[in-house]
Homo-oligomer: A and B are copies of this chain.
Amino acid sequence: MSASTINLAVIPGDGIGPEVTAEALKVLEKVVAAEGVTLEQTHYKLGAQHWLETGETLPDAVLEDLRTRDAILFGAVGAAPGDTRIPSGIIEREMLLKLRFSLDHYVNLRPSKLYGGVGSPLSNPGNIDFIVVREGTEGPYVGNGGTLRGGTRHEVATEVSLNTAHGVERVVRDAFRRANERPRKKLTLVHKHNVLVYAGHLWKRTVEAVAQEFPEVSHDYLHIDAATIFMVTDPARFDVIVTDNLFGDIITDLAAAITGGIGLAASGNINMDRTAPSMFEPVHGSAPDIAGQQKADPTAAILSAALLLEHLGYSAAAQRIEAAVVADVESRNGEVRSTSAIGDAIAAAV
């Protein structure tokens, strides 16, 4: 990557993916131009629709090509729920999760902030401003399970959660680093170590050990069940949450819901060692029911583009996007605008 060129891979995907990605690109192009940076884009056709046309999920050649890019902007993938032509979950696993695993996106970063002017389903949300550092390459997501005597009365189905010292330590250290840079400097480990003893204790021991390197960061622990309670009774208690792949999946959807919905929730799938490009995507899915109607909120995609710039070192540009989003969101007042109208407004403001 040259300092003045971003070699960007774009995977718009399915459903509302292309629409929201178009707005993210609109904003991205505007803000990087102002910085004198060239944005080179390579678009990739991948997703459920592509699978229907070609039978391809993520060919090796495409994966290798993606590796040559500086970063990936990702829209959303997934078939319509009623579409029985597509084996359920195949796009998610063989495309989205394959990208996260192959490109070693071990930090799945999901910030949660209740922006001014945004309604929360909580009557007393308080000042919600935390980030979730979700592990992205291990845990129950590894696909190590099986079926014995499938379809019979004696079927046994297993799912194996794999957790390694290597995998847990690097994400825990990343979370501590992020906590150390935030004013409150507070880290909460979320797990279920009273039941998932082996994985849970690896996580707990690792947090205790890495904490020694960050004397200014305080840390506590919550079981995942208790964490969901605090999410609705006192979400302002959270600063940095670190957790495994599955608990992170659950808690970040809940976090998105209490901060105004997944239309606003951005995420980064980050390889902090920079051995492969990181990928930025809204937390929401492809929402086939509203696709192609300019009804989707592109804010989450736009904020994901800001995370992308931040990761590539363009902090000022990232902050300009976030500021433009904050201003736009504050002025919304429940007004209904088209996907592109929101993108236009934010692009105009950056």
Contact = CB atoms under 8 A, between A and B. Distances in A.
The bracket for how many chain A residues form the interface is 35 or more
Q: A121, A163, A164 — which one has the most chain B CB atoms within 10 A of its CB?
A: A121
A228 B199 contact: no
A151 B204 CA distance: 12
A158 interface: yes
A77 B165 CA distance: 31
A120 B156 CA distance: 40
Contacts of A225: 249-250, 252-254
A88 B123 CA distance: 36
A2 interface: no
B165 A155 contact: yes
Given A147-B198, A156-B164, A226-B253, 15 more contacts: A89-B194, A92-B194, A92-B195, A121-B124, A122-B122, A145-B197, A155-B165, A155-B202, A156-B165, A157-B163, A159-B198, A159-B199, A160-B161, A195-B249, A232-B254
30 contacts: A89-B195, A89-B200, A121-B124, A140-B195, A140-B196, A141-B195, A146-B198, A147-B202, A149-B165, A152-B165, A154-B165, A156-B162, A156-B164, A157-B199, A157-B202, A158-B160, A158-B161, A158-B163, A159-B196, A159-B199, A160-B161, A192-B246, A192-B249, A225-B249, A228-B228, A229-B253, A229-B256, A233-B257, A250-B250, A254-B254
